Amino acid sequence: MRGPLDRREKAEPRTAAAELTLRHILSARVSTPVPTRIGYRTDDPFAVSVEFRPPGEVPVLWVFSRELLASGLHRAVGRGDVRIWPTGKDGSATVCLAFESPAGRALFEADAVPLRIWLARTFRLVPPGSEPSHISWDAAIAALLAGGADASE
C-alpha cells in the first residue's frame, strides 16, 4: 500500500537559487568581492546553502538554517559556526555573515534586499511552519538505517 510519503519521494524537489556577490571583509578598510550562490531545496526544507566561489580557488559550501538567515535580517542571531546580523544606518541595509570552523573564520557582508527577495521565494515554495510536511520521512529513516546521513540521495 502506498501512502502520501511514497508519492513525495518520487516528486522532483523544487529549488530557489540566486547568484550574489558578497564582500569578504578582510579589515575595517579592505574587502574583496566573492561570487556566491545561495540555494534552497524543498526536499531539505529547513536548510539553505551558501557556496562561496572565489575565482581561482576551490568553492566553499556552508549549509545552515533558513530560519537563522531570515532572523538575521532583523536582529543578531547565531552562536558558534554561523552568526548573522543586520548593519547599516537603519539596521537593515546590509547583513553580516560570520562563519567559523577549525580551518578558520571569515566575515562577509551582503546587501539585504537581494537576500530578502530570495528568502521570499523560498517561503513561497515552503511556507514557514510547513517544513515537516515536505520531508520524506520514509526516505530519511531508510537513509539512517542504511548508515547514510543524507535522505535526499
Q: Is the pLDDT of residue 141 over 90?
A: no
CA gap 63, 38 in Å, rounded: 10
Give residue 151's pLDDT.
Answer: 46
Q: Is the pLDDT of residue 17 over 50?
A: yes
Grid cell of 140 as nine digits: 530519511
Give residue 39's pLDDT.
Answer: 97
The position carrying cell 542504511 is 146
pLDDT digits (tens, 9 = 90+) for 24-44: 999 989 999 999 999 999 988
Q: Is the pLDDT of residue 11 over 70?
A: no
Residue 145 banded pLDDT, cuts 50, 70, 90 = confident
The more confidently predicted of residues 78 and 89 is 78
Going from N- to C-terminal start, the domains of the chain cover 12-145
3-state secondary structure labels for all residues of the chain? CCCHHHHHHHCCCCEEEEEEEEEEECCCCCEEEEEEEEEEECCCCCEEEEEECCCCCCCEEEEEEHHHHHHHCCCCECCCCEEEEEECCCCCCEEEEEEEECCEEEEEEEEHHHHHHHHHHHHHHCCCCCHHHHCCHHHHHHHHHCCCCCCCC
Grid cell of 103 as nine digits: 580551518
Report the greatest alpha carbon distance in the chain.
63
The more confidently predicted of residues 141 and 84 is 84
Residue 114 Cα distances to 33, 37, 82, 144, angstroms: 16, 12, 20, 36
Q: Is the pLDDT of residue 146 over 80?
A: yes
CA gap 17, 14 in Å, rounded: 10
Average pLDDT of span 72-76: 93
Give residue 13's pLDDT.
Answer: 79
Give residue 148's pLDDT.
Answer: 59
> What would be the CATH architecture of the domain defined by 12-145?
Roll (2.30)
